[in-house]
Amino acid sequence: MRRTSLTATILLAVLGAAGCVGSLEPMTGDDDDDDTPADVDAGTVPASAGRQLYDRDLAAMVEQECAACHAGAVGTQPYKFLGAVGNSADNYDALVSDQAVIGGWNPALATILTRGAHDGRAWTDAEKAKFSAWMAQEAMDRNVDLSNPPPAPTNGPLSARQALAQWSACMQLTDWTAANVVQWANKGTNNNGPCRQCHNNGAGALFANNNAEQMFEMNRQEIFIKSLFTVAPKNLADPTQGYEVVVNEQKLCQKGAGDGQAHPNYNCQGGAMDALKNFYNTTKGKLASCTATPAFPTTPPAQ
């Protein structure tokens, strides 16, 4: 199969409209319908165009520049977003599953691109272009339309995505700071480090750092807001009545009640959770009078 590549010019068009990659026939006798990364790695199904682009342009570079610090056991520092050292297939599988690192396929939000110089070097412009082209191709392969805002609300019930977009647009920084939601950045864990140790740049799709304004703005982004808030049907028996936003307490508590290895343990109740609930209650009380157009920010705040 011919490898696919995108120029910088084509990339701009891709970001404006998503498409689908044509159906691919199995190369060997794998008859199941649930093609997985393992099937691709085993050669039983062909790689997607995005995977081919990654293997051609990025696999060796990511291994050389990132693996020494960022491959290894989950939960160790520096933050691990790759698989096993020396295993490019494992690196790919881990990388595409971390929404914060890949920015939901939006290069402007992808921490693998926005991190800049740190213990490792910053990417060159040419290298950034390769990452951006790869992300655009992956968005096409996965039918992700990066330019698609939530549909405008009508007088009827809100869809799940519209409800989150409305919440994002109606959140207010003054309420966020008054509730002191930034406590999540400083919540202690069983590894003696606060949450910001891993999440200060959005690792794992949770953005938590000591800059209250930046934390607020980043948690309005579609890929981060879902860690703190989620949606639920207003009436389980009749989902056509629409959706409303609720605190994502179940996810936050599940993360804190793990085995202490894959993710550090922490007490999900108390100060930080109370702060989040206070912010939620204040925002919910203002929602009916909020006239902001439901929408997520299209770009991250300046850092």
Residue 178 has pLDDT above 90, yes or no: yes
CB burial of 115-153 (b: ≥16 within 10 Å; e: otherwise) equals eeeeeeeebeeebbbbbbbbbbbbbbbeeeebeeebeeb
Identify the residue whose tokens are 């939530």.
150
Residue 1 has pLDDT above 90, yes or no: no
Band of residue 31 on the pLDDT scale cut at 50, 70, 90: very low
Identify the residue whose tokens are 């996965």.
142
Backbone angles phi, psi at 119, to 5 degrees: -65, -25
**Neighbour tally for 245: CB within 10 Å:** 23
Band of residue 189 on the pLDDT scale cut at 50, 70, 90: confident
Burial class of residue 19 (count of CB atoms within 10 Å of its CB; 0-12, 13-18, 19+): exposed
Across the range 252-271, mean pLDDT stands at: 81
Q: Output the pLDDT for position 257.
A: 85
Residue 19 has pLDDT above 50, yes or no: no
Q: Output the pLDDT for position 18.
A: 33
pTM: 0.67
Longest dimension (CA), the chain: 60
In angstroms, the CA 133 to CA 116 distance is: 18
* Winning range, highest mean pLDDT, from 1-10, 111-120, 248-257: 248-257
98, two tokens: 């971390």
Q: Output the pLDDT for position 264.
A: 83
In angstroms, the CA 107 to CA 129 distance is: 10
In angstroms, the CA 69 to CA 79 distance is: 8
Across the range 114-140, mean pLDDT stands at: 90
Mean model confidence pLDDT for the chain: 80
Bridge-based pairing of strands 229-233 and 243-247 is antiparallel
* Winning range, highest mean pLDDT, from 24-33, 116-125, 160-169: 160-169
Band of residue 30 on the pLDDT scale cut at 50, 70, 90: very low
